[in-house]
Chains A and B, each alone.
Chain A
Amino acid sequence: MDMFLHSAWVIAALPLTIAALIAMFSRQLKDKAGWLGVAGMFVAFVWSIGVFFAVAAAGGGHEEAAAAAHEAAFFTTPAWHLVWHNWAPFGPYQIDLGLMVDHLTAIMLVVVTLVSFCVQLYSIGYMHGERRFTRFYAAINLFTTGMLGLVLADNLFLLLISWEIMGLCSYLLIGHWYEQEWPKYGSIKAFLTTRVGDVGMMVGIWVIFMVTRTLTWEGLASTIPELVKNPVQASALALGAFLIFTGAVGKSSQFPLHVWLPDAMAGPTPGSALIHAATMVAAGVYLVGRTFMIFGNVAPWVLTVVAFIGGFTALFAASIATLRWDIKEVLAFSTISQLGYMIMALGLGGWAAGNFHLMTHAFFKALLFLAAGSIIHAHHHNQLMHKMGGLRKKIPITFWTWLVGYLALAGFPGFSGFFSKDELLLAAWTWAPAGMNPLVAKLPFIMALLTAFLTAYYMTRATWLAFFGEPRDQHLYDHAHESPWTMTAPLVILAVPALLSGWLWAALPAEWFHSESLLWLEHFFHNPGVREIPTESAVTVTLMATTAGLVGIFSGWLLYAVVKPETRAKWIQAGKPIYTLVRNKYYIDEFYELTVIKFTQVASVAIAWFDGAVVDGAVNGVGVIGNAFADVSGWFDANVIDQLVVMWADISRAIAAQVRRISTGYVQQYMLTFVVVVVASVLLFQVIR
């Protein structure tokens, strides 16, 4: 196992090599590119499993923290560390690039490689015969490299590089069918919106570096607790932490930068499953979790902002998801909502809970997306739920696996999402920062509970509309067919962790069965310094959460299975204003359209005018002045300087014309002159003397 751990870099190098191979030999590989990617990712997955067991054998955060209690908070010594010292020296400072594996990385490696493996296998069926098949695989593999590099990075700099690689691949995959309008629009929107957050993040990294002079996790964890004692540096670090969080807001699609994720659904569904559900969008959560040595040490307002943005996003996105008709859009808003959950948990100090939900969510949301893709594939590329219905008999494997994902997301007891959601809610319930009104402190919990209800509701609605009831479009229904094995096998593979991964940290069953092993993940995730979550009220919270989930499921079933569509329409009519508001996603897109985009357009017109009229005018003016000056100068040169020169030449010539006459060429004349001059000189000399 140590062999895998000590060569963990292979996991990231493998997909990079494959991406390069596919890009170079795209013509030769053609359809085989998919199998190359699948094979590579399978090896990477096996390798990750090896790394995971090596780390687990060495002991997770729990044992390590006990062994090294003197170590800085929010930092556990990595099990494996590889550093390229002084990669970028500048001035007296240097940036080291390094890869490392600790317990969080070990889990993320398994999650990323498993999901990527399933997605690549699935895409062989889903993308069969599509345009730019090899480009898709090259981008998917490059993306996987980025995500693995992100989790392996031991410093903010390498993390940022991986972060941007993922941004690029996200852009490429959303715009895969760039001949159509929506993918083109979606890819640009995704890139520009995340860019807003990324700029904040880059400035944040710069601020952090200016204060701490280091970017590695280890360096940050050891310097920051000292630095925050100085109020100036403490506020600078708080600002840096907040700016880094804006990067997470952009990437993890949190309010107010959430607008890009629904439009990212324009890309191929497997890409959405990998990037816009399971891994890349979770990178923001991972970032906050990984840099907790900054967040945890600076002023508490930063984490409070994190918590409230997360909680608000969770509720906000869940409410929008209740009224979407496109099945992928429902899942997109669900993803935003669940990411809000994780961000909120981190903000509330539920570090382990947030990362736990990140893991379970990756499994069941990837599963749901792939299942949705399977439905779409079976349904001749129809994504609209009001044309579906009754599909459970036609596509049984998709139905059963979807059901696992649905129940996990809805928080049905026993499924993975149930346990992770419980931990989140417990972290929210026990959150009571000093000096805060207890009612305000309960707000995140209330938002999270409402979200749990809405999540169960909209997922029941989607499930019912797609799989139950009568077919709403007989033609599409008749032609529906189960997907090939390459698409159903990944669903089955993913259904296993979606169902079972929660049992790695099943708090209540562990208590009932007195089983420490059911708390294994909690110990593994243990991070010294984060808030201890008291567990006395665990039963109360679980009861509330389960009730919320079951009520959600029941109301979804009631509204869509029992209540007639006509009655529903009547109710919608009654609540028309709210319905319109939510149906239009609270007009956030329109708001941006009217403010940011209009402003940008007006500003660019104004700037273009300024450029054309003023800047160009100034430049041209300088040119005109230069021309005029050159004219004057040229005239002066031609008429004064040249004339002076010519004048001197004329004068010399005139003198020469006179002088040359005495130069006759007759030697005897010269001699005579010589004699005369000598005699005259002598005489003159005599006279003067």
Chain B
Amino acid sequence: MTLPIYLPLGLGALLFGLGLWGALTRTNAVRILMFIEIMLNGVNLNLITFSRYYWQQNAESAARAPIITLFIMTVAAAEASVGLAIILNVVRNRGSVDVDKINLMKG
């Protein structure tokens, strides 16, 4: 009995949607960063699911998905560290992590 494919895909979509909702609605920069991590993990789950289900048909193609996943995890770690460093500097300069108050990019 194999796990039906819609369950892991649905979980991935749920995680992505949750992350997107959080990233768009929260105003705390640290939270936004955390929601972005959730989005990324949703995508990872999606990739791993397709890889697992299509391994029988074409292993060569399916093997690419875990590699991309590993890349995403690496980039996510780097992104988290850079993002936290930026946030730390924003806090130092502005005394706040509220993104609504950070509008230097206004044209």
Contact = CB atoms under 8 A, between A and B. Distances in A.
* A-B CB proximity, top 3 nearest: A665-B106, A663-B107, A665-B103
Given A671-B23, A671-B24, A675-B20, A666 B99 contact: yes
Contacts of B24: 668, 671-672, 675
Interface residues of B, number: 13
Contact of B107 (A660, A667, A671): A660
14 contacts: A659-B107, A661-B107, A663-B105, A663-B106, A663-B107, A665-B106, A665-B107, A666-B103, A667-B102, A667-B105, A668-B24, A671-B23, A672-B24, A675-B24
Contacts of A663: 105-107
B23 A665 contact: no
Contact of B100 (A660, A661, A666): A666
B107 to A, nearest CB: 3
Contacts of A668: 23-25, 32, 99
A660 to B, nearest CB: 4
B104 interface: yes
A675 B100 CA distance: 19
A664 B23 contact: no
Contacts of B25: 668
Given A661-B107, A668-B23, A675-B20, 16 more contacts: A662-B107, A663-B106, A664-B103, A664-B106, A665-B102, A665-B103, A665-B104, A665-B105, A665-B107, A666-B100, A666-B103, A667-B99, A667-B105, A668-B25, A668-B99, A671-B23
Interface of B: 20, 23-25, 32, 99-100, 102-107
Nearest to B107: A663
Contacts of A662: 107
Contacts of B105: 663, 665, 667
Contacts of B103: 664-666
Nearest to A659: B107
Residue among A664, A667, A671, A672 facing the most chain B CB atoms (10 A cut-off): A667
A487 to B, nearest CB: 108
A667 B106 CA distance: 10
Contacts of B106: 663-665
A671 B24 CA distance: 7
Nearest to A660: B107
A665 to B, nearest CB: 3
Contacts of B102: 665, 667
A111 B106 CA distance: 108
Nearest to A656: B107
Interface in A661-689: 661-668, 671-672, 675
A293 B99 CA distance: 113
A97 to B, nearest CB: 85
Contacts of B20: 675
Interface string A108-128: 000000000000000000000
Contacts of A664: 103, 106-107
A666 B106 CA distance: 7
A657 to B, nearest CB: 10
Contacts of B107: 659-665
A423 B100 CA distance: 130
Nearest to B105: A665
A665 B99 CA distance: 10
Nearest to B26: A668
Nearest to A669: B24
Interface in A264-284: none
A662 to B, nearest CB: 8
A656 to B, nearest CB: 8
A127 B101 CA distance: 109
A385 B99 CA distance: 126
A661 B107 CA distance: 7
Contacts of A667: 99, 102, 105
A30 B105 CA distance: 94
A654 to B, nearest CB: 15
A102 B107 CA distance: 103
Nearest to B106: A665
A668 B20 CA distance: 10
B29 to A, nearest CB: 9
Contacts of B23: 668, 671
A659 B106 CA distance: 12
Contacts of B99: 666-668
A660 B103 CA distance: 13
A366 B106 CA distance: 109
A668 B26 CA distance: 9
Nearest to A668: B24
B24 to A, nearest CB: 6
Contacts of A671: 23-24
Nearest to B100: A666
A660 B107 CA distance: 5
A667 B102 CA distance: 9
A665 B100 CA distance: 9
A160 to B, nearest CB: 86
A666 to B, nearest CB: 6
Nearest to A662: B107
A183 to B, nearest CB: 92
Contacts of A675: 20, 24
A668 to B, nearest CB: 6
A661 B25 CA distance: 21
B34 to A, nearest CB: 15
B17 to A, nearest CB: 11
Nearest to A675: B20
A309 B42 CA distance: 127
A44 to B, nearest CB: 99
A672 B21 CA distance: 10
A510 to B, nearest CB: 124
A193 B105 CA distance: 93
Interface in A551-605: none
Nearest to B104: A665
Interface in A631-673: 659-668, 671-672
A375 B23 CA distance: 131
A223 to B, nearest CB: 93
A527 B41 CA distance: 126
Residue among A661, A664, A668 facing the most chain B CB atoms (10 A cut-off): A668
